[in-house]
Structure 1
């Protein structure tokens, strides 16, 4: 699939992901894209290797006597052999493993947003939200800009806006500088995984009124 992917995870976002500093919603998009893209998977491993090299070069810090005693004391603790393995589910149709994990292995529960567009919120906390968007073929998403960062990963179909065309596996990075009207490609409905850390800013009156109801 890498051969068809032309829009990747920015290096700064990848570095934050590896460092564990990326909000959960954005981490889901990165993990999903990495599962689809050989190039970004290689970039991820490069960042991890660089981080390991930094740790190896750091001077060792002595453990306090109390901490050392606590660690040594835990060595004899019983191990729970019946604990389930934390395995990421495999792809189910158009949904890669990380998305299936966020959905807990269940099918998306779609809610209508209007104009044929539907959404399914898969993760939400104080730092942001991640949702699946289902956009009918040939239909637009209402014009909007952003209160912060938005990462949108195409899982099926594709869409175009003022910045270009995005196909399966591509990631669009949008911030408050971008005002756009994404339009789904003809032929196949577009399904995306989108993460935001702030509400969208819609230009039209009706979407602005309905926005709080849909948590977008």
Structure 2
């Protein structure tokens, strides 16, 4: 994969949380998978790891804008962080190593379950603080419009989708919060395969998805 094609990256807050070990397991999986694909975020991750002691000393109540700014300033001032991150080992298939550890293989190992409209999902086993699933959205298909009761991380592994905010291609990650309402649509061509993690149920606007939501665990 050409790393320069990735246009949507992880936020500093997510990278700091991953470095500090404070994210839910589901979010850790998405972050680790993106980092394995993205030179830029992997380099930033090394920077946060280098000041991990500073991050670990911060309590959740300390992690405000001032704490984030102070940590970023520390990184910029310390020239010892100017190192080239090691590249992940290359492999065949579309699943990076962190994800293959959860699926037991690549795409062919996934046990898909249809959830309507041609869309399929496979929920991965993690702790109950958040959930993570693989989604397969047929090319040209729209996901029902929805909002969020928390944070949703969506990483594209194959194909691409568009919503009201932008286009997201292979390797891109969309970070959605409670203010976002969108209708993702898979582009024509390849089916769009995504890894998506949420820490709260989605908020669907139409009746049928709302009725099915408890059974689909979305």
TM-score normalised to the size of structure 2? 0.80
Instruction: State the secondary structure of the residue aligned to 2:125.
Output: strand
When you count helix as a share of all residues, which structure comes out higher?
2
Deviations for 1:141-185, whole angstroms, at most 9, x for unmatched residues? 001001100000000000000110000000000011001000001
How large is the Cα RMSD of the aligned pairs? 1.7
1:30 corresponds in structure 2 to: 31
Aligned partner (choices 124, 127, 143) of residue 125 of structure 1: 127
For 1:147 and 1:27, locate their aligned partners in 2 and report how far apart those are by CA, in whole Å.
19
Distance 1:164 1:121 in 2: 26
Hey, what's the Cα distance between the residues in 2 that align with 1:91 and 1:173? 27
Does 2:91 align with 1:101? no
5+ unaligned residues in a row in structure 2: which ranges? 56-87
TM-score, normalised with respect to structure 1: 0.81
Aligned-partner Cα distance in 2 for 1:21–1:31: 14
How many pairs does the alignment contain? 183
CA deviation after TM superposition for structure 1 residue 92, in Å: 4.8
1: distance between equivalents of 2:178 and 2:207?
Answer: 19
| Cα distance in 2 for residues equivalent to 1:177 and 1:123 | 28
What is the rounded CA distance, in whole Å, between the counterparts of 1:91 and 1:98 in structure 2? 12
How big is each residue's C-alpha offset from its partner over 1:72-119, in whole Å with a ceiling of 9 and x where there is no partner?
xxxxxxxxxxxxxxxx99745111111100113371110001000000
The corresponding residue for 2:152 is 150
Match of 1:202 in 2: 204
- What pairs up with 1:1-216 in 2 under 5 angstroms? 1-52=2-53, 54=54, 91-105=91-105, 107-216=109-218
Please say if residues 89 and 98 of structure 1, whose CA atoms lie closer than 8 Å, have aligned partners that are also in contact: no
